[in-house]
Amino acid sequence: MSSELARIAGPLGAAGLAVLMLAPGRTYRLAGLAAWAVGVGVLAGYLAPAGHTALLGAAGLLGLALAAGGAALLVRWPWLLALAVLACVPARIPVSVGSTQANLLVPLYGVVAAAALALAWELLKGEERQRELGPLALPLAAFVGWSGLTLAWGEDVRQGSIELLFFFLPFGLLAVSLSRLSWDRRWARVLYGELILMALVFAVVGVEQWINRDIFWNPKLLVGNTYAPFFRVNSVFWDPSIYGRFLVVAILASLVVALFSRSPRAVILALVAIGATWVGLLFSFSQSSFLALIAGVIVAAAFAWRWRALLLVALAAGVFLVVAVAAPNVRHAVTNHASGGLNRVTSGRSKLVSNGIKIAVHHPAVGVGIGGFRHAYAKQVGLRGKEPNAAASHDTPITVAAETGLPGLLLLAWVLVAGFLFTFRRAGRDLAGMAALVFGLVLVSIGVHSLFYNAFFEDPTVWAALGLAAVVSRQPRAPRKQPSAGGGDERPQAPQLDRQVEAEREQGQRVDGSQSDGARQRDVERLPERG
């Protein structure tokens, strides 16, 4: 299949997804879902390796049958989608895409197919809901649509097709499907329990790897550990940074429970989970994961302790600067630009960032096209080879600016600001508010992580957090509580009800100089029960 057809299919699939997010009517949404499916199908045909048509066709039919069965389950129990997505996040399987070896979330793509069929079934039945993503629908649709459109002029059609087919299009549909769930406290607790259980199991595997000095899947990491002063583990993941990022999300979720739960038992269990997961994170030796955790903890502390958290942050920053300045090797490496000290401290990332900025400056209007960073970088610095590993991007904002230009960078900022406002605005001490805070911390931590590891939109956790944030945003806030007259018990405030009762009392007094029987009776019925 020609690359020119892929240049059409990519924008078509992205436009269909944008319509699915924004369209006001069922017919338009069905058309958007159909365009998404056509785009996915054409891109899959373009990237499929040659010479295996019969095998791929049989695998496609089997996958479609399994997806139909999964769709039936999702229609019956919609929250199974969230549980299945979380379960599939670590399952990256080595796959050959043309001449490229990639670790893809193959089981998760089966869940996406089931979600697409379930969504199509609900729309065909007459489902009239729209814009389930709420305020996130417009910025997310605009970013997805523009990113897909850049494939039309992209410098690397194959890599751009991979980005759209395996990340943007499937994960965007997951966000829409998850946002359609109805809030359920029991399922939310089950989802949290699944997250913590998975993190504890992965941490145990990571510690076992460190003790036995053995790792799975990744021969490059094994070679790197041979010459490194410390031994990094990856648990069941391919990369230690991806492993660390998952554990950070679990730690932050437990931190929210420890800070805001009113149950002493829940607080104790959350603290135990944090400690055990932290041990697993330690042996990943992922600097980006540690920074992501620090950022998440600071934001969580700000919500829990308000201005007092700023004092803790200032103190920690002061200690960090003093230690950094006092260390001669760090001071020499940062200040000795002639020998490339800063680039060496950042493991070559500062050079990637500086050259990435140059690419963005040279292509400010439309960028080099989605997936074109590596090709443009290699051409700029004169790297040879079809797949130069030294040109791989490590910074999401720089990559977005280089590939999609200034419009893409502005749309990324719009998505982030809207996402933070959307999640943190609903944060509170009730279960839905705690969930909203967790989703906001997911965006913060993975956002910081993506400054050093380009995987913000490549991580399904981000899209799942956006979709589930829409679910909790539809939940009304729990009434605030104030001390009762006895001083020990608490009762919910109801100012609007109080004003209505007072108005009825005054009306009754104006009629006969005293409170009317009807108003008096309603007062008695509305009094809260006291212990």
One-character DSSP codes across 166-234 = IIIHHHHHHHHHHHTPPP-HHHHHHHHHHHHHHHHHHHHHHHHHHHHT--SS-HHHHHHHHHSSS----
* Percent of residues, the chain, with pLDDT higher than 90: 57
pLDDT at 219 over 50: yes
pLDDT at 314 over 80: no
* Percent of residues, the chain, with pLDDT higher than 70: 78
DSSP 271-333: HHHHHHHHHHHHTTT-HHHHHHHHHHHHHHHHHHHTHHHHHHHHHHHHHHHHHHHH-HHHHHH
Look at 168-182, 211-225, 234-248, 312-326 and tell me which has the smallest mean pLDDT: 312-326
Residues 52 and 161 occupy one common structural domain: yes
Within-domain flag for 472: no
Final residue of a structural domain among 179, 206, 230: 179
Beta bridge partners of 102: 95
Average pLDDT rounded to a whole number, residues 370-377: 88
Residues 166 and 220 occupy one common structural domain: no
What φ, ψ does residue 9 adopt, rounded to 5°? -65, -40
pLDDT at position 104 is: 83
Within-domain flag for 240: yes
Domains held by the chain: number: 2
Euclidean distance between CA atoms 433 and 262, whole angstroms:
13
Angle formed at CA 521 by CA 520 and CA 525, multiple of 5 degrees? 120
Euclidean distance between CA atoms 11 and 19, whole angstroms:
12
Residues 41 and 152 occupy one common structural domain: yes
Within-domain flag for 210: yes
Euclidean distance between CA atoms 185 and 31, whole angstroms:
34
Within-domain flag for 376: no
Residues 210 and 269 occupy one common structural domain: yes
Q: What is the pLDDT of residues 354-366, one digit of tens each?
A: 888 888 898 889 9
Q: How many CA atoms lie within 13 A of 7 on its CB side?
A: 11
Within-domain flag for 79: yes
Residues 113 and 145 occupy one common structural domain: yes
Q: What is the band of 313 on the pLDDT scale with cuts at 50, 70, 90?
A: low
**116: its two tokens:** 């697409």
pLDDT at position 67 is: 93
Within-domain flag for 100: yes
Average pLDDT rounded to a whole number, residues 97-110: 77
Per DSSP bridges, beta strands 490-492 and 481-483 are: antiparallel
pLDDT at 36 over 90: yes
What φ, ψ does residue 94 adopt, rounded to 5°? -60, 125
405: left (phi over 0), alpha (psi -120 to 50) or beta: left
Q: What is the band of 383 on the pLDDT scale with cuts at 50, 70, 90?
A: confident
What are the Cα distances from residue 324, in Å, to 314, 333, 341? 15, 11, 15
* Under 8 Å between Cβ of 225 and 215: yes
pLDDT at 140 over 90: yes
Final residue of a structural domain among 148, 164, 179: 179
pLDDT at 398 over 90: yes
Residue whose token pair is 């959307």: 422
Within-domain flag for 439: no
Helix axes 396-424, 349-362, angle to 10 degrees: 90
Within-domain flag for 174: yes
Residues 162 and 195 occupy one common structural domain: no
Residues 47 and 16 occupy one common structural domain: yes
Per DSSP bridges, beta strands 100-104 and 490-492 are: unpaired
Residues 17 and 152 occupy one common structural domain: yes
Residues 106 and 241 occupy one common structural domain: no
- The mean of the pLDDT values for the chain is 83
pLDDT at position 204 is: 96
Q: What is the band of 321 on the pLDDT scale with cuts at 50, 70, 90?
A: low
pLDDT at position 312 is: 65
Quote the domain boundaries for residue 121: 3-179
Helix axes 373-381, 349-362, angle to 10 degrees: 100
pLDDT at 485 over 70: no
| 484-493 long-range contacts, CB within 8 A, separation 24+ | 484/530, 486/530, 489/530, 489/531, 491/528, 491/530, 492/528
Residues 123 and 191 occupy one common structural domain: no
Residues 13 and 83 occupy one common structural domain: yes
pLDDT at position 386 is: 58
**265: its two tokens:** 């038992």
Residues 25 and 139 occupy one common structural domain: yes
Final residue of a structural domain among 305, 335, 353: 305
* Under 8 Å between Cβ of 107 and 90: no
Higher pLDDT, 96 or 370: 370
pLDDT at 171 over 80: yes
Q: Where are the alpha helices (DSSP H) in 425-530?
A: 431-449, 460-473, 495-512, 517-526
For 326-340, letters b (16+ CB in 10 Å) and e give eeeeeeebbeeeeee
Name the pTM for this structure: 0.84
Higher pLDDT, 298 or 329: 298
